[in-house]
Amino acid sequence: MKNDNVIGVNDLTKSYGLTLAVDHISFDVKEGEVFGFLGPNGAGKTTTIRMMVGLTQPSSGTALVDGHDILKEPVEVKKTIGLVPETSNLYSELTALDNLIYQSELYGVPRKERKNQAIQLIEEFGLKEHQDKPFQKLSRGLKRRLTIAAALIHHPKILFLDEPTTGLDVMSARGLRKLILDSKKKGLTIFLTTHYIPEAESLCDRIAIIVKGKIRIIDTPENIKSQVKEVEILEVGLDRITEDLKKKLLFMEGIEKILIAENRIRFQTKSIDQVTPHIIKLIEEQGAKIQSINTLSPSLEDAFVTLTGLDSELMKID
């Protein structure tokens, strides 16, 4: 990864009436990195991408994309980027191969190179056996692959991915994440938005956490986790978790935050030795059985909850 910035955003703002969708944000993206915008739905992630690629006019502020001003040189910006919107922009009646050839024509790829480049991307993205199928007949995962391939047909320097794995099954999402990492290895700079915390942690070199249009922090996943290093984590697995138990645990002294996932409860505390006996006593008084108990290092999810005050369950809703 190089240190040269290929994106520079300065005080970018978008308002709709009295609502600030994007609130005076500034950040840089380095050449060759995967830079992630992590936040819940409605945080301003898609609006930011739309301003950077010239689809929405900022209310104030500006950005440079590969040295081109998004307000003064929108055509030049479009030449250097590929965009994969959350909803595909390909044509349902065209085949996979014809969609790529048509996109290459739109991007000004020389006529004699169009088919060869399309076929090469079809092979790279594992779409060869589907190249003659109409786009509308492809599975959701294959549609997503093809949409990314189409955004790369003109060899852009920067790829914008808006919620790339939303709505995909586990295997399709895993395959797509591998394609993203493979593209990065080839030198592509990738700007992606996501509300999946594990996805941001596994893909991104740096992450900007954005909530209600404001950036809370920008750093590497490891450095973000270190922001809560003074917090200790106790994870307890139970046979069942009743509403009454939840309420009593929430009001225990010495507990910073509680995360509940299925039959596991994760406690954030600064005094794990002091609170653990009280937690165990309360659980036993409520008739629940402890099936496992572990101390953990803070995860990116723990850091996200601490830094934003949001319930991480909000991040799991498509």
Dump pLDDT digits (tens) for 230-251. Answer: 778 899 999 989 888 888 888 8
Look at residue 219 in the predicted model and tell me its pLDDT: 96
Q: How far apart are CA 45 and CA 48, in angstroms?
A: 5
Containing 241, the helix (H) or strand (E) segment is none
Residue 72 burial by Cβ neighbours in a 10 Å radius (0-12, 13-18, 19+)? exposed
- The answer to whether the CB of 53 falls within 8 A of the CB of 217 is no
* Structural domains of the chain, ranges and CATH numbers in brackets: 5-225 (3.40.50.300), 230-297 (3.30.70.100)
- Single out the residue of 127, 123, 9 nearest to residue 64, CA to CA: 9
- Secondary structure class of 10 (helix, strand, coil): strand
Q: How far apart are CA 313 and CA 260, in angstroms?
A: 9
Residue 110, CB-side half-sphere exposure with 13 Å CA sphere: 2
- Single out the residue of 89, 189, 187 nearest to residue 144, CA to CA: 89
166: Cα separation from own chain's centroid = 9
Q: What is the 3-state secondary structure (H, E, C) of 294-310?
A: EEECCCHHHHHHHHHCC
- The answer to whether the CB of 11 falls within 8 A of the CB of 286 is no
Look at residue 207 in the predicted model and tell me its pLDDT: 97
- Single out the residue of 139, 194, 189, 197 nearest to residue 168, CA to CA: 139
Dump pLDDT digits (tens) for 174-216. Answer: 999 999 999 999 999 999 999 999 999 999 999 999 999 999 9
Gyration radius of the chain's alpha carbons:
23
Q: What is the pLDDT along the chain (318 residues), one digit of tens a residue?
A: 556 899 999 999 999 999 999 999 999 999 999 999 999 888 999 999 999 999 999 999 999 999 999 999 999 999 999 999 988 889 999 999 999 999 999 999 999 999 999 999 999 999 999 999 999 999 999 999 999 999 999 999 999 999 999 888 899 899 999 999 999 999 999 999 999 999 999 999 999 999 999 999 999 999 998 887 777 889 999 998 988 888 888 888 888 888 888 889 988 888 888 999 999 999 999 999 999 999 888 788 888 888 887 765 544 444
Q: How far apart are CA 218 and CA 207, in angstroms?
A: 6
Look at residue 248 in the predicted model and tell me its pLDDT: 87
User: In sequence order, what DSSP letters do the residues of 20-78 get, joined into one string?
Assistant: EEEEEEEEEEETT-EEEEE--TTSSHHHHHHHHTTSS--SEEEEEETTEETTT-HHHHH
Report the alpha-carbon angle 224-225-229, nearest 5: 120
Look at residue 50 in the predicted model and tell me its pLDDT: 95
